[in-house]
Chain A
Amino acid sequence: MAVTGKRARAVLLNALVAAITLAVLAPFAWMVTVSFMPRYESSRYPPPLWPSRWTWGNYYELLYRRLIDGAWFDYRIVPALGNSLVVATVSTLLGLLLTVPAGYAFAKLRFRGRERLLQLLIASLVVPGQVAMLPLFLIFREIGLVNTWPGLILPSLAGIFAILFVRQATLSIPDEMLDAARLDGAGELAIFRRVVLPLLAPVTVTLALFMFLGSWNDFLWPLIVLADQHRYTLPVAVAAISREHAADGELMMAAAVVTTLPVLLLFLALQRYYIGGLLGGSVKG
């Protein structure tokens, strides 16, 4: 009796998890199938889950530049895809370059004012970023950074969270290891490059993923600072189309697929680092 009860409970719990997962993934699945439906097919009841005929038409409409009444027309999704890719890559690389050494310095190097600065950094986490946005826009306007790549990327490089994240990870490196390298006559730069960086490699991958996804998905600042449609990143471009083409279900789903698929694939490929970084090594398997 007790055994069958346990058995029933196991079946029930597994079924529940599977049902929840199915419900959570359903919007993604529907997004993909609708994006391949012929125009207006999704505007039907009951909502079709599967295309009657698979078509690339929506992607063609969305992505191809074409001549309409003698003028070139496109939704500027392909340029936006390129912009997003460049912006996210550059801000990730620069972000790592700036924050990883800084995080190490705050963890392991002794310098005057370190504790004070650290406290300030932690305290500043409660200030919402939007407070700085309005004056920042005016400052950037004065120095000509509005509607430029540096103006878009610069704020994302103020990685307070990233510094604290790297610092936390670096604390576990034993001091003896660094002191031994110092006794061998290695300079501080060499110690960082040859001893610390290899040990921080997994953390760096995790951080890179955080940064890339953060930049790729960022919306409010790009919306504020980019005025020129040719410089729009994907979220800004998709939001602009969605406000005009609200009724075009299939077209908008294709736009959503183009925006979400790259990050979903990147996440699946590196999920070990992402979820591992959050779990902090406390859970196995």
Chain B
Amino acid sequence: MTRQERAAWLFAAPVLGIIALVFVLPTLLAFGLSLTDYSIYALADWSNLRFVGLGNFADLLSTPLFWRALRNTALFAALGVPMAIGASLFTALLLHDATVRWKPVWRVALFAPYVTGVVATAVVWRYVLNTRFGLVNWALAQVGVAPVDWLGDPRWSIPAILLFVTWKVFGYNMIVFTAALAAVPGELMEAARLDGAGWWTRFRHVTLPAIGPTLLLAAVMSVAGFLQIFAEPYVMTLGGPSQSTTTVLYFMFEEGFKWWNLGQASAVAFVLFVLILALTLVQTRIGKRYEWL
């Protein structure tokens, strides 16, 4: 072993060891766990543990609440990703305009919600969204809209939480898009302008292809993020009303750490993993087709 090699292992081995212990090993064990009936009885005594094959997965398929959680999570992602990415792109484009002043100030202010914790801001938003005394309904009343029971009406609970999530996360991709927009070649933009291309044509044919890869990466990460929504319903709605905000991860948490069905919960975690992996592959495939990657 060369001196360099010895140093490299000295530098890398500790963290690789920790990664192996707290991430790789448990991830492999998770699959094994999902094939057992690990429950509160096994928690008390290992001898109560039985191998059940794919039984947990079969059980899940016949659990209505699991399907409900899947549907809710799909709704969160399908509505949330365009909403959040749209807000990020809109503000990034706005801040990219040459006539806008004090850009660093706006950037810091719009980014601020991202650095704060979900729990504390969810607590604040529960009051902002309050039916009788909240700021949102008060603002809507100014334009003549009747009060909406944001967190108490199953039809509005997901949009309400998405409003909060978008507020909290859009600043991150706004900054990412700002960096991508700055890299769009200026000469190309000028040439398009001289050719008489309008704002939309320039956006469609110059800006969009240039920021395509960044946009795709942001979409992939956002999909993964929205599929992992947990703290927001935990704090704001407890998964309700009438289970309208019970997400896959919320379901997993309740199964695993409220009812101690850790085998079943592991199966849920695996379904989530497979979903994220599949959606990531589909998105990169689409990206390749449009030559964004």
Contacts and interface: CB of A to CB of B under 8 A. Distances in A.
A279 to B, nearest CB: 5
B188 interface: no
A81 to B, nearest CB: 12
Contacts of A26: 135
Contacts of B244: none
A38 interface: no
Q: Main SS of the interface on chain B?
A: helix
B186 interface: no
A132 B128 contact: no
Contacts of A239: 119, 231, 234-235
B15 A159 contact: yes
Contacts of A216: 117
25 contacts: A20-B94, A27-B135, A28-B113, A47-B138, A98-B18, A109-B4, A128-B224, A131-B269, A131-B270, A131-B272, A132-B22, A132-B30, A133-B26, A134-B30, A136-B26, A188-B3, A192-B7, A220-B253, A235-B119, A239-B231, A242-B119, A246-B126, A267-B111, A279-B175, A283-B179
Contacts of A271: 108, 111
A275 interface: yes
B11 A105 contact: yes
Contacts of B132: 43, 45
Contact of B118 (A126, A163, A219, A282): A219
Interface stretch (A59-67, A68-76, A255-263): A255-263
B257 A224 contact: yes
Interface stretch (A7-15, A50-58, A199-207): A7-15
A82 interface: no
B120 interface: yes
Given A102-B16, A135-B27, A235-B117, 7 more contacts: A27-B125, A111-B12, A134-B262, A139-B25, A158-B19, A239-B231, A260-B120
Contacts of B112: 24-25, 28, 264, 267
Chain B: number of interface residues, binned into ranges: 35 or more
A260 B121 contact: yes
B209 to A, nearest CB: 18
Interface of B: 2-12, 14-16, 18-19, 21-27, 29-30, 33, 38, 91, 94-95, 97, 99-101, 103-104, 106-113, 115-121, 123-128, 132-135, 138, 167, 172, 175-176, 178-179, 182-183, 224, 227-228, 230-231, 234-235, 238, 249, 252-253, 256-257, 262, 265-266, 269-270, 272-273, 276-277, 280
B133 A45 contact: yes
Given A26-B135, A131-B270, A20 B123 contact: no
